[in-house]
Amino acid sequence: MTNGANARPDGTPRRRGGRQTIPRPPSAVEEYETPWPLGATWSVDELTRPVIDTPAPIAPTFPEAKHSAVLLVLADGPAGAEVLLTRRSMQLRNHKGEISFPGGRCDPGESPIETALREAHEEVGLSPQRPTVVGELGHLSTFVSKSYIVPIVATLDDRLELEPKTMEADRVMWTPIAELTRPGTYHRERWGLAPVDRPLHFFHLDDETVWGATAHMLVELLSLQS
């Protein structure tokens, strides 16, 4: 099973989503409430204002966790704010084909901001001098990859045309926030699995499915607008 059912309980057609293989257990329970208005969009200033004013929550971690950072980049487009996403190559061993933010492991002595900017430069050619860092979202621990992730939120004055620069990604895309809030796009699931039964979030776009840690961060960003 990759993308779940084709329609929601209210009859709204579910968007097609991508080809990502999602290891959904038979016990998964779907939920459809959203803390943001369907079809809503915001400017970059509106999206980032709560990030600037809100301290980032610190997530619980574990001894073997590897510290990482990702760069959540926003720029204004024709229909409001857009977010920069990449698709991980199918040639990778872990998280192949998944939608993610530019990011990776922190090098010794690096701050999360330095890591996020460096990784974005290496992965998509974004000069570290171009983004304006505005704050952080809540830190996140992932048990599968044993990572402690710091999401760095940044803005660009211009929606730059970027492309993959390494074998890690095979697609770079600017996704309008309005695409994330469209009817039939978002739902969350509970899988009832140890060690933590927290909700998993999904955004089914027309040609990709965003889920996992990336969707979790997007949900936090959008929820700050409610």
Count of Cβ atoms closer than 10 Å to residue 158 Cβ: 8
Quote the pLDDT of residue 24. 87
CA 176 to centroid of chain Cα atoms: 13
pTM: 0.90
Max mean pLDDT among 47-61, 79-93, 191-205 falls in 79-93
Q: What is the per-residue pLDDT across 98-148, written as a single tens digit (0 to 9) for each?
A: 999 999 999 999 999 999 999 999 999 999 999 999 999 999 887 667 889
Which pLDDT belongs to residue 194?
A: 62
Segment holding 220, helix H or strand E = helix 212-223
What residue spans of 85-199 are helical by DSSP H? 112-124, 177-180
Residue 211 neighbours by CB under 8 Å, 6+ apart: 20, 22, 98, 99, 200, 201, 202, 203
Tell me if residue 186 falls in helix, strand or coil: strand
Tokens 């803005």 belong to residue = 155
Cα 111 from chain centre: 20
Q: What's domain 42-176+214-223's architecture? A: Alpha-Beta Complex (3.90)
The one-letter amino acid code at 119 reads: E
Per-residue pLDDT averaged across 163-176, rounded? 92
Q: What share of the chain is helix, strand, coil (3-state, %, to 5)?
A: 15, 30, 50
Residue ranges of the domains in the chain?
A: 42-176+214-223
Residue given tokens 């074998």 in the structure block: 167
pLDDT value at residue 26: 87
Contact 9, 196 (CB under 8 A): no
- 3-state secondary structure (DSSP) of residue 147: strand
Q: Which residues of 32-70 are buried (b: 16+ CB within 10 A; e: fewer)?
A: eebebeeebbbebeebbbebeeeebeeeeeeeebebbbb
